[in-house]
Amino acid sequence: MDHSSFSGAPRFLTRPKAFVVSVGKDATLSCQIVGNPTPQVSWEKDRQPVEAGARFRLAQDDDQYRLTILDLALGDSGQYVCRARNAIGEAFAAVGLQVNAEAACAEQAPHFLLRPTSIRVREGAEATFRCRVRGSPPLAVSWDKDGRRLGAPDAPRVSVEASGEASALRIQAARPRDGGTYTVRAENPLGTASAAAALTVDADADAAGPPGASTAALLAHLQRRREAMRAEGAPASPPGGGTRTCTVTEGKHARLSCYVTGEPKPETVWKKDGQLVAEGRRHLVYEDAQENFVLKILFCKQSDRGLYTCTASNLVGQTYSSVLVVVREPTVPFKTRLQDLEVQEKGSATFQCEVPLPTTEAVWYKEETRLWASAKYAIEEAGTERRLTVHNASTDDDAVYICEMAEGSRTVAELAVRGNLTRKLPRKTVVRVGDTAMFCVELARPEGPVHWLRNHEEVVAGGRVAITTEGTCHTLTISKCSLEDVGEVAFVAGDCRTSTQFLVSAPRKPPPHTPEAPVVKAKTESSVTLSWSPPPHGDHPVTIDGYVVEKKRLGTYTWSRCHEAEWVATPELTVNCVAEEGDFQFRVSAVNSFGQSSYLEFPGTVHLAPQLAVKTPLKAVEAVEGSEVTFSVDLTLVSVGEWFLDGQALKASNTYVIRCEGTRHVLTIRSVPASLHGAELKFVANGIESSIRMEVRGLTTKHPTEVREVLARLHEEAQLLAELSDQATAVTWLKDGRALPPGPKYKVQASAGQRALLVRDVARDDAGLYECVSRGGRIAYHLSVQAALAGLTPFLHKDSAGGCVDTVAGGPAHFECETAEAHVPVRWFKDGLELGHSSHFSQEDVGTRHRLVANSVTRQDEGTYSCRVGEYSVDFQLRVCEPTVVFAKEQSAHSEVKATAGASATLSCEVAQAQTQVTWYKDGKKLSGSSKVRVEATGCTRRLVLQQAAKGDSGEYSCEAGGQKVTFNLDVPEPTEVFAKEQSAHSEVKATAGASATLSCEVAQAQTQVTWYKDGKKLSGSSKVRMEATGCTRRLVLQQAVKGDSGEYSCEAGGQRVTFHLDVTEPTVVFAKEQSAHSEVKATAGASATLSCEVAQAQTQVTWYKDGKKLSGSSKVRVEAMGCTRRLVLQQAVKGDSGEYSCEAGGQKVTFNLDVPGRFFGGTNLDLCVGNASSRTHLGLFPLDLTSLAFYPPSPISSQWWGQTRLGGQSVSRRERCSSTS
């Protein structure tokens, strides 16, 4: 199954299986995981990661992941976990591995000591299957139902119990839907064994005891009560969005599905208009491989209309999903539909419906099988009424019946056959290869004798087949099913009969593994025998039809097959007859109906030389006396040879024409005499030979054979009867000289001295000449289908049809007429002689239209042509004139044109006159102008332009006019890879107006030159557009993108390209319209500086930056937001806080230029403090004596000065930092 469409968190499709293995063996743990994006998978042992190494091998094959542990030791025992992660989620699966020290125990494949047996329980009771299975190394045992594994922790009603060799499957509170076939599988590295048993759950409608009588009864009571509560509390229509609608035409199928998850796993049911939908003939309920819960309604009827609800519930809660099914009447409705019928066995049932018109054709089907008139089925027509009668009804006739009109309208009804069978076989039974199939039948009362049949042969118990009987319940079990088991399986008890179509399915995928162990078994100078082993089976065996073996000579690049057949069936092949000498490599691949595996190359090379041998031997050809016959033989090498006839060497003459064309030798015998019949013809060349016995058929005079007339009516059965003198004579039936094809249309019956051909459901195209041919002669019949237009001409528009047909020599001539009815056989004549199919004349019949085409006509083709039906005919007079010159004389009649993949290819020619209309063809098919093909006409030049030529455009093209043409052979080789394989061919890119937009792609080689285009126009580098190339990366950068930059961009090289769709959107308004984009702010040193702006919406989050660096809140910086106002407050601003600030959000911003000027003292007072580092005293303002200041040299930006003085014995200092202004 293809899981590529699965999207989401990782999910385990199969989980690793527990093993008990002996010391020294190898063990492989495998699982299948899907997820999108592709998950990263890792393995752990006892919570420690497992890394690949000498003993641990990690492998991945598509979605299969494996951990192989080599040379197991006791320390390898423990719990292993496979963990899968992707960006969406995570999943894991745990498994236990036990390594035993008993390495000397005898190894054996799994085998059952006790097989599970079929059981029958009442609804609500507990059902338990038990088995005992043995094998070494110890086994992994699993249970499944209908292909789904059981015993998961999310299914609390179903549990698997294991104890040593014993295993049990326990189902609590059994329900009717639990009924079916259960399979137990045991496997170890040496093999697999499986066994199956059936569970039947009877509805407990008559239970009388109280619900507490037993645990099972209590569980059943609680379950029924819970379901009743859900039904009472279920809303009339499910909650949520509007109800989905599924519209289906009457007679077609409808599929409804829902996907439900929950813990524990929910129980899911389908209801129609509040009533539970039970499985039956037309209703299938199942869970598919994607775990969708599916209801399939087959052959929908008007009664299927209604509201269907998928109800899922567990102990935690419940949920619903609904869909409204609308059954639409067919395009052409029936006047009266079919009605359901019920009949007893051996009785007859008649279905009746009414079509719109008496001429409306209708056919009958039993489900998918078309019915024909016979002793079993009587098909009648009376005006607009159509009737089907089913005679001698049996259980196999219990089915859906359909009447279908020609345009597809259907009406559907069901036939119920009542009899002794209370449980019948299903219409179809499907199991997988290697699984066990069980067929169960139950009778109302014992009846005999009882037989099981397969393909009409009685089945005998033994080997893979087991037959059991318990009371009136009969079971047939076929284990290890293979493709050879398919066919009809039937149960017969007295007069009762029921059957099923038994199908065995193989995995629908190509072989996942390559063949193994390639070896060269034998070699000579001109041949080599190769051998290999089939691929490993793996967890899920895949059918292999055969192998493909290919060879390649060193120095070349092309692989070619080593065998003429599509594939070889055995894992061995002898390769000889190479065309040239050289060293050859070989490889092999496994194939089946769904594809082939990857190739396995044989090690080394093999030197082979060609050897003379017969490549294509002589073939017997029946010659006609007096005519000419040709024989040929093909050798592997060029060699001289001789022809012998009955031992006599032949020499070239007028009778024997001998030719040699390279390795092919040809002999033509003219005017073959009857005496050569049985003669030996032999060709000999350098010791090799090829011979045949000649067959010469003598000329016989044809005597007119009496033709028997047979008349039949439409839709009846026609019988052609032949009586033979020799009862053992084999006969062949022909129609119009051709053998009748096999199929339901014709049936041949043989009895003592008679042979009969039955033509079923006679149609008008069945009319014609039939012949019964035997060795002793032939009998001819002319079958006529009763015509609806007796006495009238069969041709339409006879007065206007026919006449003169003018054409140009070398061109085709067309003769066309129309008959009153479709499929009327017509015959064509020229000057009274009947024309047959040939390379010169071709006849076409489509419905009521009939055409004769004469190719490349000449003057000799002129004459009278007639189309005849019986005694009626339409005549045409053909006139052929010489062609005028269409193409210029200097125009070559044939040209070779080469083109590069991905580029345009132009084919051009010159016509003689500018007004000439031409038509272009490719491989004989007319071409018309399209987005891919452009036809141009300029003066006398005619061109055909193919846009973006690909490999599939290679072929022969022709430009034709007036019966003349010029041809072109166009060759478009496969393109070399330009872009990296992982590069997406198309990408969607979004950008915001005002920001830069970057388009990027990867090329395969770093030196590749690329060209960028926008909407088909080449782009060049500019201040707006920048093109970059770094290694294998190519980028196109658009500065300050605007809305007009949106469009289709492409990066092209070597005729290939990758495309980008750029969408530039206007930014959403972030700041208030009245907000200035730039502001100048001045602040006083030492004071607070506030920058403020307004946003459009109060919830907008902004970020502040200074000189491009992000600012965060601190004791220095405070960020405020009040309503739509955003502020940045700088505490005690200083000169260093000056600069450019910005407030940004959503790709937009407003800027502020903050200026904090330097601080100067305006007088000679100094605010002084006295003291030391631990104690300071403020002294106030004192006059400053500038003469007592000592100035230190200023820095380039600022200067520092210190002032010192003495006050009352204390050292007084003041340090001030100020910005220099000079």
Q: How many CB atoms lie within 10 A of CB 11?
A: 17
**Structural contact between residues 868 and 852, judged by C-beta atoms closer than 8 angstroms:** no
- d(CA 648, CA 656) in angstroms, rounded, equals 13
Question: Looking at residues 1197-1210, what average pLDDT do you find?
Answer: 41
511-528 pLDDT per residue, tens = 888 898 898 888 888 889
Mean pLDDT of 651-656: 88
pLDDT over 70 at 1181, yes or no: no
Q: Are 1180 and 1168 in contact (CB under 8 A)?
A: yes
pLDDT of residue 1165: 46
Q: Which has more pLDDT, 798 or 1139? A: 1139
CA–CA separation, 385 and 362 (whole Å): 10
Question: Per-residue pLDDT for 205 more than 60?
Answer: no
Percent of the chain whose pLDDT exceeds 90:
17
Model confidence pLDDT, tens digit, residues 853-875: 988 888 888 888 998 887 778 88
pLDDT exceeds 80 at position 240:
no
Q: Are 379 and 373 in contact (CB under 8 A)?
A: yes
Beta strand pairing call for 56-61 and 64-69: antiparallel
**Residues 349-370 pLDDT 10s:** 999 999 999 888 899 999 888 8
Residue 205 or 94, more confident: 94
Beta bridge partners of 423: 442
Is 593 buried (19+), middle (13-18) or exposed (0-12) by CB count in 10 A?
exposed
- Whole-angstrom Cα distance, residue 338 to residue 386? 10
Beta 437-443 vs 768-774: how paired, if at all?
A: unpaired
The confidence score (pLDDT) of residue 1186 equals: 38
Alpha-carbon distance 188 to 191, whole Å? 6
Count the Cβ atoms, other than its own, within 10 Å of residue 285.
17
65 vs 282: CA distance, rounded Å? 40
The confidence score (pLDDT) of residue 244 equals: 84
Q: Give the span between the Cα atoms of 957 and 967, in whole angstroms.
A: 6
In tens, the pLDDT along 1029-1059 reads 998 899 999 988 888 889 999 999 877 889 9
pLDDT band at 233 (very low <50, low <70, confident <90, very high): very low
Q: Kindly list the structural domains of the chain, giving each domain's residue range(s) and its CATH number in brackets, ordered by start.
A: 8-100 (2.60.40.10), 108-199 (2.60.40.10), 244-328 (2.60.40.10), 341-418 (2.60.40.10), 421-505 (2.60.40.10), 518-608 (2.60.40.10), 614-697 (2.60.40.10), 708-786 (2.60.40.10), 795-881 (2.60.40.10), 986-1065 (2.60.40.10), 1078-1155 (2.60.40.10)
Closest CA to 878 of 859, 855, 898: 859
> Could you give the CA distance from residue 692 to residue 678 in angstroms, rounded to a whole number?
9
Q: Which residue has the tokens 């290869």?
A: 433
Say which DSSP state 216 is in.
H
- Do residues 945 and 909 lie in contact, with contact meaning Cβ atoms separated by under 8 Å? no
Q: What is the per-residue burial (b if ≥16 Cβ within 10 Å, else e) of 815-830?
A: bbbbbbbeebebebbb
Question: 46-88 pLDDT, tens per residue?
Answer: 888 888 887 888 888 888 898 998 888 888 888 888 989 888 8
Average pLDDT, the chain: 81
432-459 per-position pLDDT tens digit: 777 888 898 888 888 878 899 988 888 9
- Cis amide bond preceding 449, omega within 30: yes
pLDDT of 588 > 90? The answer is yes
Tell me, rounded to whole angstroms, the distance of Cα 755 from its chain centroid: 48
DSSP 996-1009: -EEEEEEBSSTT--
Average pLDDT over residues 574-592: 87
Q: Which two tokens stand for residue 1203?
A: 């002032």
Min mean pLDDT across 412-421, 734-743, 991-1000 is at 734-743
Identify the pLDDT of residue 804.
Answer: 86
Question: Does the bond joining 741 to the residue before it have cis omega, within 30 degrees of 0?
Answer: no
pLDDT above 50 (res 1129) = yes
Q: How far is CA 1200 from CA 1189, 1213, 1217, in A?
A: 12, 13, 5
At 1192, the pLDDT band (50, 70, 90 cuts) reads: very low
| C-alpha to C-alpha distance for 1176 and 1101, rounded to whole angstroms | 46
The predicted-structure confidence for 691-723, as pLDDT tens digits, reads as follows: 998 888 764 434 445 788 888 876 678 888 888
Distance set, CA 1162 to CA 1166, 1181, 1214 (Å): 11, 13, 16
3-state class of 309 per DSSP? strand
- Of 302, 412, 305, nearest to 367 by C-alpha is 412
Core vs surface per residue 354-390: b (16+ CB within 10 A) or e: bbeeeebbbbbbbeeeebbbeeebebeeeebebebeb
Query: Looking at the predicted structure, is the pLDDT value of residue 787 above 70?
Result: no
Name the 3-class secondary structure at 1113. coil
pLDDT tens digits, one per residue of 329-346: 888 889 999 999 999 888
Spatial CB neighbours of 770, under 8 Å, sequence gap ≥ 6: 710, 720, 733, 734, 735, 757, 780, 781, 782, 783
Element holding 805 (H helix, E strand): strand 803-808
Q: What pLDDT is stored for residue 1180 in this prediction?
A: 45
900-953: per-residue pLDDT in tens?
877 889 999 988 888 888 899 998 888 888 888 899 998 889 999 998 888 888
Residue with tokens 């598509």: 62
Q: Tell me what the mean pLDDT of segment 793-814 comes to.
A: 78
Q: How far apart are CA 927 and CA 342, in angstroms?
A: 59
Lookup result for tokens 């739509």: 1124
- In this predicted structure, the answer to whether residue 1142 has a pLDDT above a threshold of 90 is yes
Report the pLDDT value the prediction gives residue 452, as an integer from 0 to 100.
92
Q: Quick one: average pLDDT of 659-683?
A: 87
Question: Which residue, 809, 738, 1174, 787, is CA-closest to 964?
Answer: 809
The pLDDT of residue 958 is: 93
Preceding peptide of 264 cis, ω within 30°:
yes
Query: Per-residue confidence at 1172, pLDDT binned at 50, 70, 90?
Result: very low
pLDDT at 1178: 46
Three-class secondary structure of residue 605 per DSSP: coil
What is the distance between the terminal CA atoms of the chain, rounded to a whole angstrom?
Answer: 85
Beta-sheet pairing, 528-533 with 572-575: antiparallel
The string of pLDDT tens digits covering residues 907-920 is: 999 888 888 888 99
Q: How many CB atoms lie within 10 A of CB 457?
A: 8
| Antiparallel, parallel or unpaired: β 680-685 and 642-645 | antiparallel
| CA 990 to chain centroid | 33
> How many angstroms from the chain centroid is the CA of residue 106?
46
Q: Running DSSP on this structure, what letter comes out for residue 331?
A: S
For CA atoms 1090, 1091, 1092, 1096, give the dihedral sign.
negative
The model's pTM is: 0.35
874-887 pLDDT tens trace: 888 888 887 777 88
Task: Give the whole-angstrom CA distance, residue 870 versus residue 879.
Answer: 27
* Per-residue pLDDT reduced to its tens digit, 477-511: 998 888 888 899 999 888 788 888 888 877 677 88
Give 766's DSSP letter: G
- Residue 774 β-bridge partners: 777
Residues pairing with 326 in the sheet: 247
Q: In what order do the strands lie in the sheet with 656-661?
A: 614-616, 629-635, 664-669, 656-661
| pLDDT of 675 strictly over 70 | yes
Poorest-confidence range of 37-41, 792-796, 896-900, 1144-1148?
792-796
Predicted local distance difference test score (pLDDT) of residue 207:
40
Q: How far is CA 58 from the centre of its chain?
A: 30
Q: Is 586 exposed, middle or buried (0-12, 13-18, 19+ CB in 10 A)?
A: buried
Distance CA 948, CA 1052 (A): 12
Eight-class DSSP state of 438: E
